[in-house]
Amino acid sequence: MRRALITGIGGQDGSYLAELLLNADYEVVGLVRPGAARYENLAGIEGRIELYEADLLNPTSLAQALRAARPAEVRFASSIPTSASTRPRRPRSSAIQPMFRKPKTRRSLR
């Protein structure tokens, strides 16, 4: 059985995607905001999914959740906060870029 992690599973798109993947015989795990209240739109599938708390703007938090969930696939259905109080100055470099950095080791072509 394939295992997919959905960011933003508590939202409208994320919950629909979770239902779609469950019906396609996936194991579904989702990321929710730390301390978030129960999501009513997940009530019908609560017993069939796993939820992990993670702050998508915190690379350490995200990495810990990914290690714990161990997904084969990651599906993005979340938005990055845009209010002035929560928006990072450089969202690409602070939230996304750390996940895709190359190792710091260098190899000589000689």
Spell out the domain ranges in the chain: 3-100
List the structure tokens of 95: 């939230």
- CATH among 3.30.70.960, 1.20.1050.10, 3.40.50.150, 3.40.50.720 for 3-100: 3.40.50.720
Determine the average pLDDT of the residues in 30-53.
Answer: 92
Cβ atoms of residues 55 and 33 within 8 Å = yes
Question: In the β-sheet with 73-76, what is the strand arrangement from edge to edge?
Answer: 49-53, 27-32, 3-7, 73-76
List the structure tokens of 21: 């993947």
pTM over 0.85? The answer is no
Q: Is the pLDDT of residue 101 over 80?
A: no
Q: Is the pLDDT of residue 49 over 80?
A: yes
pLDDT of residue 79: 74
Q: Is the pLDDT of residue 105 over 80?
A: no
Determine the average pLDDT of the residues in 28-49.
Answer: 92
Determine the average pLDDT of the residues in 55-66.
Answer: 90
The percent of residues above 90 in pLDDT, for the chain, comes to 55
